């Protein structure tokens, strides 16, 4: 009787119950794992994965096991459907976790590319808050309309270009006490009044200079914001497009994980290429053994299988420069499978078997 390994702790309860039921069926039948593989047509390696909870058995393998053990296939396939749903939920949770990790990494990478936000966050010498600071990347900063130097110089004592009345006749122009300065820099230093209460020419020059400095600062902030936005856009456009292989695999039937070259050297059971998708493209009898070319059109791949073999017998599959080999290693085993080779059609593959006892070799056409 097989000595089963402990099932993984993280296994879903529904899958654990289904796997335990498969073990009980094998135990009651009195068959070894190798015998189950021989009678069901699925490899010993695959059955070890199924019975240890590392891989969910396909429906075809479950129906074959029910026939071998004399079990009602209806009840067994009902349990398989429940386990298959649990397996799909586990894979979905894993995919969502990986997606969340990738999103977090992408956000961190974009933050590093953007660097610290630029813009004037400090205060001007006049003490007033600076307006028109750039917002988040991709948002243009808003800059209030600014007066021209002529407007500032020619403003009358009762009003100015903004329509703000002067509270004090001693300070004509746009910069009376309490009036906002152009660009949000606060009121400029008060200059001594000239004869008759009018402001002197030096104060007007200083106002014009302050206006020009504020306008220049706003332009610098706008340019910095646009630079960051365009840099991030260039980074996104430079990302490579998905490869044709990924697009092709995304269109494969459910459960099939490879096609063509991506199947080279991989197990047909694990990649979902066997079961109902496989056909026997050629076979030949070598002594008491039979060697076959197993072909999956969906996966565009083939592999070799030898049955009724003995310990030491080998099986080989070849197609062009691709070649895979396997052998019957354990005593009592009678079946061996090779890994897959990519093929364009079933006629490209050739399978051979070599018997260890006699050295006899035979190949398919």
**Contact status, residue 274 vs residue 301, Cβ threshold 8 Å:** no
pTM (2 d.p.): 0.40
Q: What is the pLDDT of residue 103?
A: 77
Q: What is the pLDDT of residue 350?
A: 92
pLDDT digits (tens, 9 = 90+) for 119-173: 444 444 444 444 444 444 444 444 455 555 455 445 444 444 444 444 444 444 4
Query: Per residue in 276-298, is it b (16+ CB within 10 Å) or e — as a string?
Result: ebbeebbebebbebbbbbbbbee
**Contact status, residue 176 vs residue 166, Cβ threshold 8 Å:** yes
Angle at 289 between CA 286 and CA 294, to 5 degrees: 95
> For tokens 């190798």, what's the residue?
34
Between CA 171 and CA 29 the distance in angstroms is 108
Please report which residue ranges of the chain form alpha helices under DSSP H. Answer: 13-29, 33-40, 44-51, 59-69, 73-114, 149-154, 201-237, 244-250
Q: Pick the closest to residue 172 from 145, 144, 207 (CA basis).
A: 207
The upper half-sphere exposure of residue 221, i.e. CA atoms within 13 Å in the direction of its Cβ, equals 23
> For tokens 């197990």, what's the residue?
267
pLDDT per residue rounded down to tens, the chain (365 residues): 446 888 888 888 889 999 999 999 999 999 999 999 999 999 999 999 999 988 899 999 999 999 999 988 888 988 899 998 888 887 666 666 666 777 777 777 777 776 655 544 444 444 444 444 444 444 444 445 555 545 544 544 444 444 444 444 444 444 444 444 444 444 445 444 444 444 445 556 677 777 777 777 777 777 777 766 665 655 555 555 544 444 444 578 888 889 999 999 998 888 888 776 678 888 889 988 888 999 999 899 999 988 888 888 999 999 988 999 988 887 777 878 899 999 999 888 999 999 998 999 999 98
Q: What is the pLDDT of residue 107?
A: 75
Q: What is the pLDDT of residue 308?
A: 81
CA distances (Å), 326 to each of 254, 298, 312, in order? 28, 23, 10
Left if phi > 0, otherwise alpha if psi is -120 to 50, otherwise beta: which for 272? Answer: left
The upper half-sphere exposure of residue 326, i.e. CA atoms within 13 Å in the direction of its Cβ, equals 25
Radius of gyration of the chain from Cα atoms? 40
Do strands 350-354 and 322-327 pair parallel, antiparallel, or not at all (unpaired)?
Answer: unpaired
CA distances (Å), 87 to each of 12, 57, 64, 135, 353, in order? 8, 11, 21, 47, 37
CA 121 from chain centre, in angstroms, equals 38
Q: What is the pLDDT of residue 174?
A: 42
């Amino acid at each position: 009787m097989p000595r089963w390994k402990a099932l993984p702790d993280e296994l879903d309860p529904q899958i654990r119950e289904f796997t335990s039921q498969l073990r009980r069926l094998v135990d009651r039948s009195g068959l070894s794992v190798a015998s189950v593989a021989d009678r069901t047509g699925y490899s010993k390696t695959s059955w070890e994965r199924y019975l240890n909870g590392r891989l969910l058995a396909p429906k075809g393998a479950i129906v074959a096991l029910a026939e071998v053990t004399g079990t009602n296939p209806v009840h067994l396939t009902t349990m398989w459907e429940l386990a298959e749903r649990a397996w799909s939920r586990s894979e979905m949770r894993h995919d969502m976790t990986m997606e969340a990790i990738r999103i977090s990494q992408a956000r961190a990478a974009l933050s590093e590319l953007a660097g610290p936000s630029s813009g004037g966050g400090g205060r001007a010498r006049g003490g007033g808050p600076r307006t028109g600071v750039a917002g988040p990347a991709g948002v243009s900063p808003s800059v209030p309309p600014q007066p021209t130097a002529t407007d500032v110089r020619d403003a009358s004592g009762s009003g100015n270009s903004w329509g703000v009345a002067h509270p004090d006749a001693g300070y004509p122009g746009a910069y009376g006490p309490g009036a906002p300065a152009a660009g949000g820099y606060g009121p400029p230093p008060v200059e001594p009044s000239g004869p008759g209460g009018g402001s002197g020419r030096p104060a007007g020059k200083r106002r014009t200079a302050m206006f020009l400095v504020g306008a220049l600062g706003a332009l610098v902030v706008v340019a910095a914001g646009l630079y960051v936005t365009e840099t991030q856009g260039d980074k996104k456009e430079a990302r490579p497009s998905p490869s044709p292989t990924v697009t092709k695999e995304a269109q494969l039937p459910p459960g099939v994980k490879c096609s063509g070259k991506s199947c080279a050297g991989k197990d047909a059971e694990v990649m979902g290429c066997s079961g109902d998708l496989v056909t026997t493209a050629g076979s030949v009898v070598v002594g008491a053994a039979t060697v076959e070319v197993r072909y999956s059109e969906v996966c565009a791949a083939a592999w070799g299988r030898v049955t009724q073999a003995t310990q030491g017998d080998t099986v080989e599959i070849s197609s062009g420069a691709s070649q895979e080999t396997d052998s019957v290693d354990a005593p009592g085993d009678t079946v061996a499978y090779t890994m897959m080779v990519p093929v364009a059609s079933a006629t490209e593959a050739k399978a051979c078997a070599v018997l260890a006892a006699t050295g006899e070799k035979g190949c398919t056409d």
